[in-house]
Amino acid sequence: MVWPEEKTEAAREILSLLYENRMIRTFYRDRPEGWALVSGLYSPIYIQLRPLASFPKVFEKVCRTMARMVVEEAPDITRIIGIAMAGVPIASGMAITGSIPAGFTRKMENVKSVEAFRTAISGYGEHSLLEGEIASGDRIALVDDLVTRFDSKLIALEMVRHEVRKRGLEAVECDRILVVLDREQGGAEAAQQAQVRLHSLIPFKSVGLPLLEGVMNNNEWETVRRYLDDSTPFQDKQVQERLARMAMNG
């Protein structure tokens, strides 16, 4: 089986398992009132991959396929760095299943932007920003669970570059980001603007949702599809109440 076919089949299995184990949650099955996102907007779907390691078979499948993606799409990569916190277990799993040397970034409290990082780093002292070895000539890819906004990825890139300079390393490249799931809400465009390449195992809107048709209830699936096409109508309280009634009457 060629890689594009293998990738699609793996995505189909992984998505089904994520949905089954409620790492993909919807208004219809899990929470009739839906979710208020960090942005304050309403959403009828919520994706949370942080519990992955609680489901060893799902976790192994994800990590093994992510490691295969490196071989097939970024074979020049010599080292991966998990972005704290969600990317850390995934990078560790990829190290085991794919024999790829790995490390991870440290969590910096209250640093939400590149500008905040540059301010904070002046008082950070001698603490390492990365755990794990990196070496001159390395080609590094960052690893995370998913991408929506790009802020955490840009901060992690800055952390790697700062640590490379601090350790006196030469000819180190860090211009790849690997994620399990791309929500397709501007991540790819932000990556292009930052001059890094984004590799996603599952682009959710274009690939993932079609693979969930038949796994989800028809009304559930159609609602999520319409929301991903245009979330604006779903911010109306009457629409949200109608969806809640639909879910409760199931």
Note the pLDDT of residue 67: 98
In a domain, 93, yes or no: yes
Position 56 in a domain: yes
Residue 124 is predicted with a pLDDT of: 74
Domain that holds residue 63: 3-238
Residue position matching structure tokens 């078979």: 57
Task: Say if residue 126's pLDDT is above 80.
Answer: no
Q: State the Cα–Cα distance between residues 175 and 183, nearest whole angstrom.
A: 20
Average pLDDT of the residues of the chain: 95
Q: How far apart are CA 175 and CA 180, in angstroms?
A: 17
Q: Is residue 249 part of a domain?
A: no
H-helix or E-strand spanning residue 228: helix 218-229
- Digit-coded pLDDT (tens) for 47-98: 999 999 999 999 999 999 999 999 999 999 999 999 999 999 999 999 999 9
Please report whether residue 247 resides in a domain. Answer: no
Closest CA to 101 of 66, 129, 68, 140: 140
Give the total number of structural domains in the chain. Answer: 1
> Is there a domain that residue 14 lies in?
yes
Is residue 250 in a domain? Answer: no
In this structure, what CATH number is given to the domain that contains residue 147? 3.40.50.2020
Buried b (16+ CB within 10 A) or exposed e, 129-157: bbebebeeebbbbbbbbbbbebebbbbbb
The fraction of the chain above a pLDDT of 70, given in percent, is 99
Q: How confident is the model at residue 121 (pLDDT cuts 50, 70, 90)?
A: confident
Work out the number of other CB atoms within 10 angstroms of the CB of residue 14.
22
Centre a 10 Å sphere on the Cβ of residue 249 and count the other Cβ atoms it contains: 7
- Give the strand pairing for 79-82 and 139-147: parallel
pLDDT, average across residues 229-237: 96
Q: Is 18 within a domain?
A: yes
Structure tokens at 105: 């970034």
Give yes or no for a contact between 65 and 10, defined as CB atoms under 8 angstroms apart: yes
Q: Which of 176, 177, 100, 165 is nearest to 132 (CA)?
A: 100
- Looking at residue 195, its amino acid is Q
Residue 105 located in a structural domain: yes
Cβ atoms of residues 101 and 80 within 8 Å = yes
At residue 122, the 3 state secondary structure works out as coil
**Percent share of the chain, pLDDT over 90:** 88
Q: Across-strand partners of 200?
A: 179
pLDDT digits 0-9 by tens, 150-161: 989 999 999 999
Residue 108 has pLDDT above 80, yes or no: yes
Whether the per-residue pLDDT at 237 is higher than 80: the answer is yes
Span 179-183, mean pLDDT? Answer: 96
| Segment among 15-29, 41-55, 124-138 with least mean pLDDT | 124-138
Whether 224 shows a pLDDT value over 80: the answer reads: yes
